[in-house]
Amino acid sequence: MKRIAVFTSGGDAPGMNAAIRAVVRMAMYHKVEIFGIQYGYRGMIQGDIIPLQSRSVSNIIQRGGTILRTARSEEFMMYEGREKAFNALQQNGIEGLIGIGGDGTFKGLSKFMEEFPVNVVGVPGTIDNDLYGTDYTIGFDTAVNTALGTIDKIRDTAAAHERLFYVEVMGRDAGFIAVDVGIASGAEYIVIPETETNIDDLREMLRHYRKDKSSAIIIVAEGDEEGNAFEIADKVKDAAGYDYRISVIGHVQRGGSPSALDRCLASRLGAAAVEKLIEGKTGIMVGEINWKINEIPLEETWKKHKRVQPHLLELARILSL
């Protein structure tokens, strides 16, 4: 393996830059030439490929976003797009690819390696934490802390006005952010897509809290099957007499300086991805289970489902009584 390339794709996540830095520096350490593909699969198709050196990744470990930029590419979903991408890699002599992203990125990589002779390794980078084969994805810890900081502020105003707040956090298909943020903020109720939301139960809990809690917080994962925070508030209706407001935290969860946990995880996984490629591994994602590097076939990362632990919801409920 003489020349490899790294790219970021899909939703950005804090810590992606730390992962890029680790990939570049570990590749240089092993005397492998390293290139960066800009704008994810779109840039791969367009041959937007630049050489990277050690100093190209100076001063980025603390920055959110991704210096390589990212995109969601429709064209790469078609065979013709993937063929163009393969030709661009060939023209640049790229033998191995490291893709940092979530399930969409890995589905693309999997398809790509089925059709073309490319060596690929995935690094889990998404705030959603919804990839099987790793305890944590890069960006999750920072996103949880960002949401938490906001909810702590919402608690102040909720307490001052004696209000109920529905707070919507990100997680289209997954409730990992909602559960951790819910426990850490001491929320009164958490709704997530993985479990059936019972509006009657929520009403009942609100009636219970209303007896002696002057304010309350309900965390709603955006992808809940009963709807987003506005829709759920509509279904609950009078909220047991609480004056209520709705707050959507949104994309602020994707930005900001990565936490120490995310920087360290990104450093370990970026470095491991390079080592796996050099060892001749392909078609895998590198993750961590119980602090140990784990490799898993790319397809399993989305075909198998990492489950939110139901006992955590129960814990949140007990601790809010």
Q: Where do contacts with ligand F6P occur on this chain (CB under 6 A)?
A: 11, 102, 126-128, 170-172, 222, 254
**Other C-beta atoms lying within 10 Å of the C-beta of residue 115:** 11
Least Å distance, CB 139 to ligand F6P, is: 8
Give me the least distance between CB of 95 and ligand F6P, in Å please.
29
Three-class DSSP category at 153: helix
List of residues 6+ apart from 48 with CB closer than 8 A = 37, 38, 39, 42
Alpha-carbon distance of 165 to 155, in angstroms, equals 8
235 neighbors 228 (Cβ within 8 angstroms)? no
267: tokens are 């450093």
Q: Residue 105 and residue 321: Cα distance in Å, rounded?
A: 41
Q: At its nearest, how many Å lie between ligand F6P and the CB of residue 272?
A: 22
Q: Please say which residue, 11 or 99, places its beta carbon nearer to ligand F6P.
A: 11
C-alpha–C-alpha distance, residues 225 and 192, integer Å: 8
Single out the catalytic residue among 12, 48, 103, 128.
Answer: 128
Residue at 140: amino acid letter? F
Residue 128 a catalytic site member? yes
Q: Of 89, 76, 2, 18, nearest to 47 (Cα)? A: 89
Least separation in angstroms between residue 11's CB and ligand F6P is 3
**Of residues 129 and 267, the one with the C-beta less far from ligand F6P:** 129
Tokens of 116: 């073309």
Considering the complex, what minimum distance in angstroms separates the CB of residue 66 from ligand F6P? 13
CA angle 43/45/50 to nearest 5° reads 45
Could you list the active site residues? 128
